[in-house]
Amino acid sequence: MENVDKTIEEAIIKFQIVMLHLNKEIVEIVRETGLSNLLSREQIEAMRIIKTEGKVTINELAKLQNIFKTAASKRIAKLEEMGYVQRAYSENKRIKLIKLSSEGESFLKKATSVMTEAVKERLGNKFTVDEVHQFVEQLTHIDSAFRENKQ
């Protein structure tokens, strides 16, 4: 068990450091590709979360982005003003849901394509398609384990 603990500890440390570097790279990619002239990394991240979740409340978005509700509200207000998000129907009138608009879907698809090309360029031929698939499967597996644990 001690060996597993040490391995998990190493993974956590490595993951945190890699995520810091990746976030810096993403900021740089957003800047280089001109996407930052349109939206910030945080706004694009919010749109990705909404796309993944389908519909979210401001509170859920704030929690997922690890920001205050007021910051999430401002972020959503700006995206709504730009036409990228819209209010979604909810059975409970007190719950205000947000979803991507068709313009938001279109923008996110374009942004993802531009970012994919930039990442491919940075990675070169260092990874095979199988290695990338394995990496995505591991991330999905980790995400599922954490989500299951929360329920």
> The tokens 């991507």 sit on which residue?
100
**Per-residue pLDDT tens digits for 16-25:** 998 888 888 8
Q: What is the mean pLDDT of residues 61-80?
A: 94
pLDDT over 80 at 11, yes or no: yes
How many domains does the chain fold into?
1
Is 108 contained in some domain?
yes
Given a cut of 70, whether residue 1 has pLDDT beyond it is no
Domain range enclosing 57: 39-150
* CATH code of 44's domain: 1.10.10.10
Q: Phi first, then psi: what are they for 56, rounded to 5°?
A: -140, 160
The answer to whether the predicted template modeling score (pTM) of the entire model surpasses 0.85 is no
Q: Is residue 30 part of a domain?
A: no
Query: Residue 117 pLDDT > 70, yes or no?
Result: yes
Taking alpha carbons only, the member of 17, 24, 84, 82 closest to residue 49 is 84
